[in-house]
């Protein structure tokens, strides 16, 4: 009755998601770059043999990967179901019917809070995909989606 | 709060109740039993055991005293109550825990009787809530009669809102026998449960107690020395005798495996009975630890019919039901451990599921998936084999012995061929089907199995693709099942999408809370 959804275009995440992932990756890469610098000063190998690869990997991880991840992700809010698509190499395309949602979380980490983002998590009773997370939503959007799903669940239950 | 309420065996609750008085003795014995090994280890490790009984006896007495004292305190501070809407349990001396479980959240009530409580005629009642093992509510130990009454009361109150209540829950409900195993069947089952797990256990024990042996068990040189010393006659007996010895060792291995399999099976499944009662399927089994579980039929999410590569040839299969309430250790309840399809069919019918028939439209996995899985299995080994061959050729050119690398190349090639055949066999026997009400997945090699899931009871659907699968246009379809897993592998992408759309439409039409059960 609602069609297959597969042909419809996905809703992209909030643009700030790229920045948030970049900041997260940068914080993760920082100790590695510092480690490379320390090894460099020890002077074991010719100049640049530690710092150059480390910096290249860090730059690729900070600049390119978040953008690709942003384009790989997306969601689609149906009348009675949520579709979540993610993954660069390993694609995953999950649909959760609202009628199977046990409870809903809206999470905000420190970085997400800084960019006004939130992660919506739907919990089902299934062992596989027990909780389906959708990061990179605007906080207000996430709250609105939560209310919509909750209203649906409530309406169905009454 | 600390007024001692006598454990009156009445089922009209509302007041706080205690567990059985003798229960603390049982707990004490079990605590001492559990402490025995660590105590032994501590005694040996600290060297205290060399000091003689004057040191050991007080330590053992102290351990016993602590065990019994803590179990007495635990008993003293444990109480439970069957309220109007929930089961409440309060426990703990220093950190008190008060847990309330609403009747609607209780998936299943099971009565368990381990060896020691059995000697005292006591049972432990467990309430399964689907929260997972450690958060489960257990009331132990109470008398058998009280346990049965407690279970009936909880069941009655639980189904109270369901409006389908039996006439009188106090009376033992009439039961229809669905499946039972006599001793002959049990022993046949045991033969098929051939297991070499005993060697793992023996290895572990040897590792623990190797200080008792006069030499290092894993030291090959020590064995050689032993063989050359007092055992040198073994080496002189000649080829025939050595072959005989090897055969003897193999038959000892076989006998041990059989005995282990038989022993484990008899311990677990002795007196197996499956009955249909108004409250669901009731299963009783066990020789030393007797368990009694009732699985409400409406909670069954999926079925699994399992077999083995050998036992299938003899027509033996097993049936398990997948539900939110989990069995100890494994994720599904075995309802027919070992039976023919003729015996399994009526049980399947009772659960409301339908076995696949001639009308079932089976589909195979994509041929591309077969080619890819074979290539992925073979490629690394083929590369290694070629490398080994190269080393062999180089060694030969340099005039060095080349038999080692050559042998390695052949071994790798043979292993690669084996993996390729396995991947092909897996693909050849992999089937999936979907009909108006159910999903079917048939898979497996050493342990072939058939899963049947109800479409409306699925929780979510995922289409997953790895980097290869994306290029080649096939996908895995993973279904969220409460209490289990179900996946179709290597489905062409278009078919995967169609299956998902069909399943989702039947899922979305029925709300979770209004699912039958």
Dump pLDDT digits (tens) for B358-381.
Answer: 888 899 999 999 999 999 989 999
CB contact (8 A) between residue A99 and residue B508:
yes
Task: Identify all chain A residues contacting B504, using CB atoms and an 8 Å cutoff.
Answer: 81, 95, 97
- Using CA atoms, how far apart are residues A14 and B303, in angstroms rounded to an integer? 42
| Contact residues, chain A to chain B, C-beta under 8 Å | 1-6, 80-81, 89-102, 124-130, 132, 153, 156-157
Q: B-chain residues within 8 Å CB-CB of A4?
A: 497-498, 500-501
Mean pLDDT over the full length of chain B = 80
Chain A residues with CB under 8 Å of B130 CB are 125
Per-residue pLDDT tens over the stretch B80-90: 888 777 788 88
This prediction's pTM = 0.71
Size of chain B in residues = 517
The average pLDDT across B419-448 equals 91
Among B residues 316-375, those touching chain A with beta carbons less than 8 Å apart: 324, 331
Give the rounded percent of residues in chain B with a pLDDT score beyond 70: 80
Q: How confident is the model at residue B74, as a pLDDT?
A: 86
Chain A CB contacts of B507 under 8 Å are: 97, 99-100
The more confident residue out of B132 and A12 is A12
* B280 contacts B296 by C-beta, under 8 angstroms: yes
pLDDT 10s digits, B269-306: 998 999 998 878 889 998 888 888 888 888 788 999 99
Residues of B in contact with A2 (CB under 8 A): 505, 508
pLDDT of residue B51: 73
B199 close to A (CB below 8 A): no
Contact between A13 and A66 under an 8 Å Cβ cutoff? The reply is: no
Residue B141 preceded by cis peptide, ω within 30: yes
B504 min Cα distance to partner chain A (Å) = 7
CB contact under 8 A, B480 and A2: no
Q: How far is A103 from chain B (nearest CA, A)?
A: 12
Given CB atoms, is B82 within the 8 Å cutoff of chain A?
no
List the single residue in B461, B484, B497 with the smallest CB-CB distance to A127.
B484
Q: Does B458 touch chain A (CB under 8 A)?
A: yes
CB spacing of B466 vs A90 below 8 angstroms = yes
User: Over the stretch B109-119, which tens digit does the pLDDT of each residue have?
Assistant: 888 888 888 88
CB–CB contact A92 B513 (8 Å):
no
pLDDT band at residue A25 under the 50/70/90 scheme: very high
Lowest mean pLDDT among A123-127, B21-25, B242-246, B421-425: A123-127
Residues of A in contact with B473 (CB under 8 A): none
Residue B43 has a pLDDT of 77
Any residues with CB less than 8 A from the CB of B265 and at least 6 apart, and which? B186, B189, B190, B193
In tens, the pLDDT along B7-24 reads 444 444 467 888 888 888
Q: How confident is the model at residue B6 (pLDDT cuts 50, 70, 90)?
A: very low
Greatest pairwise CA separation for chain A in angstroms: 72
Fold observed for domain A74-157: PH-domain like (2.30.29)
- Whether the CB of B459 is below 8 Å from some CB of chain A: the reply is yes
Write the ipTM.
0.85
What b/e readout covers B60-78, taking b as 16+ CB neighbours within 10 angstroms?
A: beebbeebbeebeebbeeb
When CB atoms are compared, the residue of A96, A125, A128 closest to B478 is: A128
Q: Yes or no: say if B460 and B445 are a contact pair by the CB < 8 Å rule.
A: no
Please report, to the nearest 10 degrees, the dihedral formed by the alpha carbons of residues B207, B210, B215, B216 taken in order: 20
Sequence spans of domains, chain A: 16-68, 74-157
Task: Compute the nearest-CA separation of A150 from chain B (Å).
Answer: 13
- CA A81, B494, B439: angle at the middle one, nearest 5? 65
8 Å CB contact of B462 and A91: no
């Amino acid at each position: 009755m609602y069609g297959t959804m597969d042909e419809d275009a996905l809703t992209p995440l909030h643009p700030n998601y790229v920045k948030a992932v970049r900041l997260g990756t940068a914080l993760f890469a920082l100790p590695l770059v510092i480690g490379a610098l320390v090894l460099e000063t020890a002077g074991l190998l010719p100049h640049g043999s530690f710092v150059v690869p480390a910096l290249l990997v860090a730059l690729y991880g900070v600049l390119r990967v978040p953008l690709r991840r942003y384009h790989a992700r997306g969601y689609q809010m149906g009348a009675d179901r949520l579709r979540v698509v993610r993954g660069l190499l390993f694609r995953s395309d999950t649909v959760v019917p609202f009628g199977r949602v046990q409870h809903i979380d809206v999470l905000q980490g420190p970085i997400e809070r800084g960019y006004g983002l939130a992660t919506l998590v739907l919990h089902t009773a299934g062992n596989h995909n027990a909780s389906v997370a959708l990061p990179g939503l605007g906080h207000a959007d996430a709250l609105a989606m939560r209310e919509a799903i909750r209203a649906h669940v409530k309406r169905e239950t009454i | 709060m600390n007024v001692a309420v006598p454990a009156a065996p009445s089922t009209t609750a509302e007041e706080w109740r205690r567990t059985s008085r003798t229960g603390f003795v049982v707990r004490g014995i079990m605590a001492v039993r559990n402490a025995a090994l660590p105590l032994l280890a501590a005694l040996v490790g600290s060297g205290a055991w060399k000091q003689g009984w004057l040191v050991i006896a007080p330590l053992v007495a102290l351990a016993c005293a602590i065990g019994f004292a803590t179990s007495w305190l635990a008993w003293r501070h444990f109480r439970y109550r069957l309220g109007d809407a929930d089961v409440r349990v309060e426990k703990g001396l220093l950190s008190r825990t008060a847990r309330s479980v609403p009747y609607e959240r209780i998936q299943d009530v099971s009565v368990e009787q381990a060896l020691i409580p059995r000697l005292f005629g006591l049972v432990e009642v467990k309430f399964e809530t689907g929260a997972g093992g450690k958060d489960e509510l257990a009331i132990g130990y109470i008398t058998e009669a009280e346990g049965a009454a407690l279970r009936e009361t909880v069941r009655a109150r639980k189904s109270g809102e369901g409006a389908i209540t039996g006439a009188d829950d106090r009376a033992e409900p009439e039961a229809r026998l669905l499946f039972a195993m006599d001793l002959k069947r049990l022993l046949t089952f045991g033969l098929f449960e051939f297991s070499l797990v005993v060697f793992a256990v023996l290895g572990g024990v040897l590792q623990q107690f190797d200080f008792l042996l006069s030499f290092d068990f894993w030291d090959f040189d020590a064995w050689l020395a032993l063989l050359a010393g007092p055992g040198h006659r073994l080496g002189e007996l000649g080829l025939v005798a050595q072959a005989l010895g090897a055969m003897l060792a193999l038959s000892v291995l076989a006998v041990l495996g059989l005995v282990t399999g038989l022993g484990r099976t008899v311990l677990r499944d002795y007196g197996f009975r499956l009955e249909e009662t108004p409250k669901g399927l009731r299963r009783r089994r066990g020789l030393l630890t007797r368990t009694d579980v009732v699985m409400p039929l409406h909670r069954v999410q999926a079925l699994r019919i399992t077999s083995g590569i050998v036992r299938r040839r003899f027509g033996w299969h097993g049936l398990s039901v997948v539900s939110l309430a989990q069995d100890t250790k494994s994720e599904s309840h075995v309802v027919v451990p070992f039976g023919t399809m003729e015996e399994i069919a009526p049980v399947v019918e009772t659960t409301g599921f339908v076995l696949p028939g001639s009308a079932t439209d089976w589909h195979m996995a994509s041929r591309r998936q077969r080619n890819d899985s074979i290539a992925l299995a073979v490629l690394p080994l083929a590369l290694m084999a070629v490398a080994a061959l190269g080393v062999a050729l180089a060694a030969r050119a340099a005039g060095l012995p080349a038999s080692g690398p050559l042998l390695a190349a052949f071994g790798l090639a043979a292993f690669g061929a084996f993996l390729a055949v396995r991947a092909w066999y897996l693909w050849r026997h992999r089937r999936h089907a979907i009909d108006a009400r159910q999903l079917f997945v048939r898979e497996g090699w050493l342990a072939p199995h058939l899963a049947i899931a109800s479409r409306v009871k699925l929780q979510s659907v995922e289409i997953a693709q790895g980097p290869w699968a994306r290029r080649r246009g096939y996908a895995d379809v993973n279904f969220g099942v409460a209490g289990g897993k179900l996946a179709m592998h290597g489905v062409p992408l278009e078919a995967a999408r169609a299956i998902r759309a069909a399943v989702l439409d039947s899922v979305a039409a029925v709300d979770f809370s209004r699912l039958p059960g």
